[in-house]
Amino acid sequence: MKVHILDDWFETLRDLPCFAKLSGHDVTVWTDHELDHERLAARVKDAEALVLFRERTTIGADLLDRLPNLKLISQRSVYPHVDVPACTANNVLLSSNMHSDTPSYAAAEMTLALILASYRQIPQQAASIRAGDWQMGVGRTLRGRTLGLYGYGRIAQAVAGYARAIGMNVQWWASDEGRARSMADGQTIANSRADFFATSDVVSLHVRLKPATHGIITANDLAGMNPRSLLVNTSRSGLIETGALEAEIAKNRIHAAVDVFDIEPLRDTSNVLLTHPNVLPTPHIGYVTEDEFDLQFSDIFDQINAYAKGTPIHMINPQVWS
């Protein structure tokens, strides 16, 4: 098959063990990000299979209508960036392994790293010594503090294990169903939503972005956090009410460590989330490790090979195949 891989910004995939799975295909790897769908369609007009790097490119009808040769879109995990009805209308199969039993340990580790780096001022201290100075301030200890995890999923549960290992207390808030599962597992649930935000020294978000969760973290939630408390988001920017975090940060009251943004790649260096000293920003690298990529793209390439053999797997819109 003619396979086009989008948005491999650092041309990482060719060096991974799993790339050998594509040896029987004609593969093109695109290492930049093309926003314009007309230009993107011209690039990949011959593609029979598109490989997506998570949610870096939105796939809608305006693109799919321009790709008459496309048969398969292969990716991993959730797909809010893919217009599934448009795929079906264009006779394009979407395959995506939902990896129901496999948390992203890379994202969980990144969450812990952001918490540690924020509390111990690691980026600022490193910048200070590189500039020829010495210590620039005094950090804070995490042991004995309370981590509030919003969302009772696999990544949050991995983060909870890491937090307990360094002596943090852990409490939870989630949907009704998530709180019920958490309670059944003997976890500590905050007395109320307001109490969760008010009593957590660190609040970390671990919820999938979908219409029901868009803007689920409100300006009132952030306003209810204690001064100097830390909000961590390695999940999705859209979980927070538009503009609410920026407005709260501008008050110089709380801190934030964010790996996700409304616009990605974010290149606006005047954005308060990049300029304010209370914010530790990283460029959506929560899942970006060699190990995680090899795990994810091994599944993606398996989906391509299965389709080529006439036995597609992980079908999201199976009516296209049938």
pLDDT digits (tens, 9 = 90+) for 37-83: 999 999 999 999 999 998 899 999 999 999 999 999 999 988 989 99
Q: What predicted TM-score, i.e. pTM, was given to this entire model?
A: 0.87
Strand arrangement of the beta sheet that strand 202-205 belongs to: 169-173, 146-150, 202-205, 230-233, 255-258, 279-281
pLDDT at 284 over 80: yes
From first CA to last CA, the distance across the chain in angstroms is 20
Per DSSP, the three-state class of 138 is coil
The fraction of the chain above a pLDDT of 70, given in percent, is 99
Q: What is the pLDDT of residue 210?
A: 87
Between 170 and 265, residue with greater pLDDT: 170
pLDDT at 98 over 90: no
Dist. CA 251–CA 117, nearest whole Å: 22
- Computed over every residue of the chain, the mean pLDDT equals 96
In eight-state DSSP terms, residue 284 is S
pLDDT at 168 over 70: yes
Q: What is the pLDDT of residue 99?
A: 74
Least trusted range by pLDDT, from 6-10, 48-52, 69-73, 116-120: 6-10
Q: What is the pLDDT of residue 104?
A: 85
Q: Which tokens sit at 184?
A: 């059944």
pLDDT at 100 over 80: no
Dist. CA 103–CA 108, nearest whole Å: 8
User: Mean per-residue pLDDT for 263-289?
Assistant: 95
pLDDT at 91 over 90: yes
Q: What is the pLDDT of residue 55?
A: 87
Q: What is the pLDDT of residue 101?
A: 62
Name the band, by pLDDT with cuts 50, 70 and 90, for residue 103: confident
pLDDT at 145 over 80: yes
Quickly list DSSP for 163-215. Answer: HHHTT-EEEEE--HHHHHHHHHTT--B-SSHHHHHHH-SEEEE----SGGGTT
The fraction of the chain above a pLDDT of 90, given in percent, is 93
User: Mean per-residue pLDDT for 219-243?
Assistant: 97
Q: Which tokens sit at 73?
A: 């879109």
Q: What is the pLDDT of residue 183?
A: 97
φ, ψ for residue 236 (rounded to 5)?
A: -145, 140
pLDDT at 180 over 70: yes
Is 150 exposed, middle or buried (CB count within 10 Å of its CB: 0-12, 13-18, 19+)? Answer: buried
Dist. CA 88–CA 96, nearest whole Å: 15
